[in-house]
Structure 1
Amino acid sequence: MNLKKRVCALLLLFVVAGQAYADEGMWVLKELNKQNLARMKELGFTPSYKQVYSETDPCVANAVVIFGGGCTGITVSDQGLIFTNHHCGFGAIQQLSSVEHDYLKDGFVSQNLSEELPVPGLSVRYLHETVDVSDRINSEISGISDEFKRLAAADSIGRVICDSIGNTEFVSADVIPFYNNNKYFLIVYDVYRDVRMVFAPPSSIGKFGGDTDNWMWPRHTGDFSIFRVYAGKDNKPAEYNADNKPYQPKYVAEVSLQGYQDKDYAMTIGFPGSTDRYLSSWGVQQRIENSNKPRIEVRGIKQAIWKDAMLASDEIRIKYASKYAGSSNYWKNSIGMNRGLANLNVIERKKKEEADFAAWVAQDEQRKEKYGNVLELLEKGYTSTNEYRQAATYLMEAFSSGAEIVRLARMIQSVDVDGSTSEEKDAFMKERIESFFKDYDPALDQKVLTAMMKVVKERVPEQFLPDIYKQIDKKYKGDYEKYTADVFKKTKLLSYDQIESIIKNRKQYDKFKKDPAAELSLSVLISLFELQQFMSDAEYDISKGERLYFAGLKEMHPDEALSSDANFTMRLSYGSIGGYKPYDAGWYDFYTTEKGILEKENPASDEFWVQPEYLDLIRSKDFGPYANENGDLQLCFLTNNDITGGNSGSPVFDKNARLIGLAFDGNWEAMSGDIAFEPDLQRCIGVDIRYVLFVVDKWGKCSRLIDELKLVK
């Protein structure tokens, strides 16, 4: 359990007259209540609760998995077949690609089990159990007033609970706080480490529209990829072995070819990463000014340098494709979030909620004693750390996430040279250093480092700059291009053999401390540590304020069903299919068709270029059983399900809990959704499962995968 992890956000779940409550919420399946179930039924859902979630019998939730480190997937066959997004599988596709076998550009199709490609390092996690341990923890910490000691005690108890389970490479146990540290759950996963790539469409399908269409509607992107989980003896998790067999899951999701209509029921189950729905007005202001704005600026500079190099070289394009996509996604998210928060007057709405809370507290002496200083804690905590947060964001974006040579130096600095065994050092070299160099270009990184040095110097106040800047300004007279050229000329870190010598030889490691890349990394690390120290006391005040604020809101609205903020645990969201009105006199329909590919296709654009043979296939309109009743092929569709990052690859189910699509994006007009849910604007974008099957069948000619599915026609 992460000691400093906070589940934050401000409630916007209040209802208009005549409604039970809005359809906001990423609900813990174990805690679905009568209100949730009644609303699901009202919207059209027919199965029972136990069919969706059960701790004893096979259920829909058993088929939903964590894919990799931050996505969701769905099990669709009794042979361990997993559907997820193309952008979720992108790292694996890139990892297995080369100039000779460019699976990013050309796609990948396996026609039998032997052709399926192992993906080193990729794992799939199935939820084993969820146990409420709130009573055990809260009974021990309820009398602790100091927030640091309270969090430390909860963390300690959580580790003891996890130790009783026994964390291994195949079992992952963690105690995670929910409801702003008011409840705690033990979450246990079975971890499958033999995962193989089965099918990937070319990027002209899986990433059609690129950055231009990212977070936008209408979409025409076939954002899917297919993998398979393999198991060892007795169907248990195992490391890769050629003798492993396809995993036989507890439950297999049915796949519907029946389509959907406007206002039909829609449900997602997945692993949303993080929301801040109970974030205070001061927290929102800090997010806008001191986190998002620096991130937007620094990533924009870095990505422009990367993009130019990627367009000039296929080798660099393949190396940097996954890194660029990951960086750009959060960059554009930050831009959209700031825009949405301003357009929707979220700060003013938060202030109104806080004023209502203050008025409620003032009505009762016991409330004053319990909640009287909550808003003061939050205001002081955020406003006192704004300057530190902004400086820290610039340093992290420029060096921790920007110049890769700094990150490489930090990796090596983290090795316990004396305490690590030879086997651990060999594993470090193979798993961390080999993979780093596979996707690294020093000449490109040198350009990035120069730009990062400049933007930090211009934006970070002198008192927060790493001390190394004083040395650089004295020796190089502010010429950062000359400085970075020297770093890359003199560093030992561009050689695999020299890095191995550093971590295996104490004398070499001691000399490494004077390596220019190591000196830069350490200087940045010290500055970040100092900034964290400046913020630490305030962060505990914020944590206490947010814990008590949620508890107060729950007491203030006893009849409301309040959902816990997302924290990358399994959640259910229910809603309906439907379009939306993005602006005055405008209306977006709830689905797109193949016509949009032909309208957008542009052979001169790297984002909208499509293989000629695929264009011919689309123009032929040979859509078979995957066409709708009008003969069109539906590509993507909209629901008002409440999702966020981590939900990528989440199954979208119909009223019968049958798979109709895979969630892959949100919409530009509601990028503030992680902080403020907007039912009239917020939409989940999914790829139609019929489009997925069309690409597999008609483009990939891979009928064996279609035959594995439990199709409902």
Structure 2
Amino acid sequence: MHTLSRLALLVLAFLTLTPQARADEGMWLPLLLKQLNEADMQKKGLKLTAEQIYSVNQGSLKDAVVQFGGGCTGEIISAEGLLLTNHHCGYSQIQQHSSVENDYLTKGYWAMNREQELPNPGLTATFIVRMEDVTSQVLMGVPKTNVQEVDREKLVQTNIQRVAQAAVQGTHYQAFIRPFYNGNEYYMFVTEVFQDIRLVGAPPSSIGKFGGDTDNWAWPRHTGDFSIFRIYAGPDNKPAAYSKDNVPFKPRHHLPISLAGVQPGDFTLVFGFPGRTNEYLTSWGVEETYSVSNPAKIKVRDAKLKVLNTDMAASDKVRIQYAAKYASIANYWKKWIGENRGLKKLDAVTRKQQQETVFQQWANSGDEARKAAYGTLLPQLQRSYTAARDYTLARDYVTEAALGIELIAVTNSLLPLAEMVENKVPAAELATAVEKAKKGTANFFRNYSAPTDRKVAVALLPLYATGTPTALLPAYVKALPKQFPGAAGWATYVNQLYSTSRLTSNESAQALLDEVANGNARALLDDPAAKLASAITSNYRTAILPTYTAATDNIALLQRTYVAGLRQQQPERTFYPDANSTLRVAYGQVQPYQPADGTQYEFYTTLDGIMEKADPTNPEFEVPARLAELYQTKDYGPYAYKGSVPVAFIATNHTTGGNSGSPVINGRGELIGTNFDRNWEGTMSDIMFDPDRVRNITLDVRYMLFVVDKFAGAKHLVNEMTLVDNPNDVKPESGKKVKKVKVKKANAKTAA
């Protein structure tokens, strides 16, 4: 009786800790909305059907959503291929077009006609044509038991390649297949990839990055985080490489833009490509993240950011060279700090342990088949995490600290050329490889400062040497403190390294590569940077990677079984798959929140808040003169709300990296904003979601329109868009019949 009561209490606690998936939690496959989510979404305020969100046979919301580049989302906002995404998503493209003379990062850029729209080689926009459950085809012939994870994965990958190739044979489409629920299911995504993407407009950094790192991952937020591109296609409206003869792409659907605004409780839908979550991680996985990986990565990036910040402040050239790199490094540095704070506040490890106690009780109380499948699962997971711990830490220090030094990273990328020489590959093959390396090296040095990287090396090499478990540190690195003793030893070594290496400038690096092309491998291998890079990476491949891979492969196998067991244990629960950079729907509601005792945040911010934060002595909070002028004259056009211009709002949607740039859509299928961040208190949502604390931060579409129209004077872009200000302008039965409204100047009492 005592045991049963204890189990009942544990089950009750578990159900309290893992509630049924609700409107504000989950990243759902559009293909399955009809059967899993449609009724709940409509109950929360959706006026559309699942078919109007995702359809293969007719234009739907999915046809207005693209994966922008490799890691963001964008949305189509005109019938002529106009694409809206975040400023930080387009940042590297803006940076590539910038120079000290034409500093588009600082000043912004606006194409006033099609001829001024700037091409971006290598940038793509990917549409999802259709999705398909291909689990049975992928797992065909794959043993369920008695197979090593590496062998299973080879069989799976062979099947994936076969199924994907067959799906697009004879077409211009592409296809990829991803695992879901840790490899228990597989889905195929047929795509159409456009290659001619041109920069149309970007606000100055004083708008697009207003608040900088201080406000990053924070609320209240006042960042105009958007940029505008255009997709071009061939005359047949199909993907084509860049050509002056290409024409603006004609989409199957573009999003109408609502001027009606939002209020607390309003339905919101985020449609995008979330990158990665680990919602079903065990307590040992959470503990490893919290106590091992995150602290190490935070420490390394903190040191690197301090160096970059100093040098970027001292030189406009360095600032432009490192702008995109700095933003990328800083973004996850602050995210990991917030994630750890959130995990601590939720007592995430303890909660996971409680869940595992209930799971173990369930496994032990079942029939022999259940006991055999799940009875020893959790202890095996614990042993695997314990075995991997030092190797995980060593791997983090290699990737973050050692390879965070650009000289080591670029040198490591060139080392295979020496191997080609020593292996006596054909001369033509070597020449091709060297020529490719020379082009890549030249591009690398465009955004490289050797003096800055030297300072980074002085900061990071000691962290790498002391943070890596001693047994896993290369002998070459262990010997350096003896060769260069004293407090200044590392600085002395680094100064010698950078003074003698031929890989610190483009000119000397190109000359070195010419020698390699002529068969002189020693020219590269004897370079001091190559000696250091080779010692670190060869040690990584031989002493760290094999054990790390074996342990993580075993964790992957056990985790797949654990997730299958959770779904069997809780048949009444609707599980959603972890994010894996595939198209997903998240839905929730506009809501304020209380981050701490005595603190209550409103659901939106306005232009007034920008002016309150304005500080001409702080580059992060500079306000452009034109924006201040518009504020003073209250020249807000039709974009005003309660006497100001709304800038951003928050809602309860479940988002993560990759959702940057995602359209935020109201219940009628209209664009109301662009997702660009989460609140700092909610960054742990990649591991554990808390509806009371997690909020996604959205750029209000009215601020984007205000900046484009009033600030930039690019009214021609607004005229391309379909604006609606009446809920009846879009009829939910079609999702297409849109009344275009005339943009008029509104007074301060314009309703939201």
TM-score (normalizing by structure 1): 0.94
Do residues 462 (structure 1) and 470 (structure 2) align? yes
Over 3 Å counting, the alpha-carbon distance change for 1:709 and 1:598 in structure 2 is same
1:269 maps to what in 2?
Answer: 271
1:502–1:508: 8 Å Cα contact kept in structure 2? no
Q: Distance in 1 between matches of 2:23 and 2:636?
A: 38
Counterpart among 326, 339, 358 of residue 341 in structure 2: 339
Aligned to 1:76: 77
User: C-alpha root-mean-square deviation of aligned residues, in Å?
Assistant: 2.1
Return the alpha-carbon distance in structure 2 between the equivalents of residues 133 and 335 of structure 1: 38
**Alpha-carbon contact 2:607-2:644 (below 8 Å) kept:** yes
What residue in structure 2 maps to residue 445 of structure 1? 453
User: CA offset at residue 424 of structure 1?
Assistant: 5.6
After TM superposition, give the deviation of residue 179 of structure 1 in Å. Answer: 0.9
Does structure 1 residue 112 correspond to structure 2 residue 113? yes
Q: Which residue of 1 aligns with 2:206?
A: 204
Q: Which moved more, 1:294-303 or 1:246-255?
A: 246-255
Note the 1:115-514 alignment, pairs <5 A: 115-146=116-147, 147-165=149-167, 171-365=173-367, 366-400=369-403, 402-415=404-417, 418=425, 420=429, 422=431, 425-430=434-439, 432-477=440-485, 479-503=489-513, 505-514=517-526
The answer for unaligned runs of 5 or more in structure 1 is 1-11
| Alpha-carbon offset, residue 619 of structure 1 | 2.3
Residue pairs, 1:564-575, within 5 angstroms: 564-575=577-588
> Aligned pair in 2 of structure 1 residues 161, 243: CA closer, same or farther (>3 Å)?
same
Give the superposition deviation at 1:508.
Answer: 3.1
Q: Is the 8 A contact 2:408 2:532 kept in 1?
A: yes
Gap change, CA 1:520 and 1:13, over 3 Å in 2: farther
Change in 2 beyond 3 A, CA 1:17/1:170: closer
Q: Which residue does the alignment assign to 1:631?
A: 643
Equivalents in 1 of 2:511, 2:161: separation in Å? 36
For residues 265 and 324 of structure 1, the distance between their equivalents in structure 2, rounded to whole angstroms, comes to: 35
One-letter identity of the residue aligned with 1:491: S
Counterpart of 2:731? Answer: none
User: How many equivalent residue pairs?
Assistant: 699
Contact residue 13 and residue 21 of structure 1 kept, 8 A: no
Identity of aligned residues (%): 39
* Partners of 1:144 and 1:150 within 8 A in 2: no
CA offset digits 1:500-526 (Å, max 9, x no partner): 455451423342111111111111112
User: Structure 1 pair 70/497, CA: closer, same or farther in 2 (3 Å)?
Assistant: same
Deviation, 1:20, is 7.5
Kept in 2: contact 1:22–1:679 (CA 8 A) = no
The AA in structure 2 aligned to 1:493 is: L
Pair 436,256 (structure 1): closer, same or farther in 2 beyond 3 Å = same
3-state DSSP of counterpart to 1:582: strand
One-letter amino acid of the counterpart of residue 156, structure 2: A
CA distance 1:145–1:56, change in 2 (3 Å): farther
Task: Specify the SS of the correspondent of 2:699.
Answer: strand
DSSP-derived class of the 1:129 partner: strand
Residues 136-168 of structure 1 show CA distances to partners (whole Å, capped at 9, x for unaligned) of 122321434222221221122112223435699
Task: Give the corresponding residue for 1:707.
Answer: 719
Distance in 2 separating the partners of 1:699 and 1:683: 29
Deviates more, 1:38-47 or 1:618-627: 618-627
**CA drift at 1:566:** 0.2
Which runs of 5 or more residues in structure 2 are unaligned? 1-12, 726-752
Question: Which structure has the greater CA radius of gyration?
Answer: 2
- By how many angstroms is 1:471 displaced? 4.3
Deviation at residue 536 of structure 1 after TM alignment:
2.5
Aligned residue for 1:27, secondary structure, equals: coil
- Shift of the 424–467 alpha-carbon distance from structure 1 to 2, 3 Å rule, reads same
Q: What corresponds to 1:690 in structure 2?
A: 702
Letter in 1 for 2:655: I
Deviations 1:558-606 (A, max 9, x none): 1211000000000000110110111112211100111101110000101
Any conservation in 1 of the 2:672–2:701 contact (CA below 8 Å)?
yes
2: CA distance between counterparts of 1:95 and 1:41? 44
Name the residue aligned to 1:559: 572
Instruction: Tell me the equivalent position of 2:747.
Output: none
The alignment status of 1:101 with 2:108, answered yes or no, reads no
Find 1:656's aligned residue among 652, 665, 668.
Answer: 668
Q: Is the 8 A contact 1:502 1:509 kept in 2?
A: no
How far apart, CA to CA, are the structure 2 residues paired with 1:637 and 1:40?
Answer: 20
- The match for 1:55 is 56
- Give the residue type in structure 2 aligned to 1:374: L
- Partner-residue secondary structure (3-state), 1:185: strand
Shift of the 494–585 alpha-carbon distance from structure 1 to 2, 3 Å rule, reads closer
Query: What amino acid sits opposite 2:64 in the alignment?
Result: A
Per-residue CA deviations over 1:636-661 (Å, capped at 9, x if unaligned) read 00010000000000000001010000
Is the partner of 1:233 in helix, strand or coil?
Answer: coil
Which residue matches 1:607? 620
Letter in 1 for 2:466: E
Structure 1 equivalent of residue 607 of structure 2: 594
Q: Return the alpha-carbon distance in structure 2 between the equivalents of residues 439 and 167 of structure 1.
A: 40
CA distance change for structure 1 residues 519 and 141 in 2, over 3 Å: closer, same or farther? Answer: same
The AA in structure 1 aligned to 2:597 is D
Distance 1:21 1:203 in 2: 37
Aligned-partner SS, 1:607 = helix
Deviations 1:101-136 (A, max 9, x none): 111110001100001111122111111232221011
Q: Is the 8 A contact 2:21 2:573 kept in 1?
A: no
Rounded to whole Å, the distance in 2 between the matches of 1:183 and 1:701 is 50
- Distance in 1 of aligned mates of 2:644 and 2:553: 56
Deviation larger for 235-244 or 17-26: 17-26
Deviation larger for 171-180 or 341-350:
171-180
Match of 2:686 in 1: 674
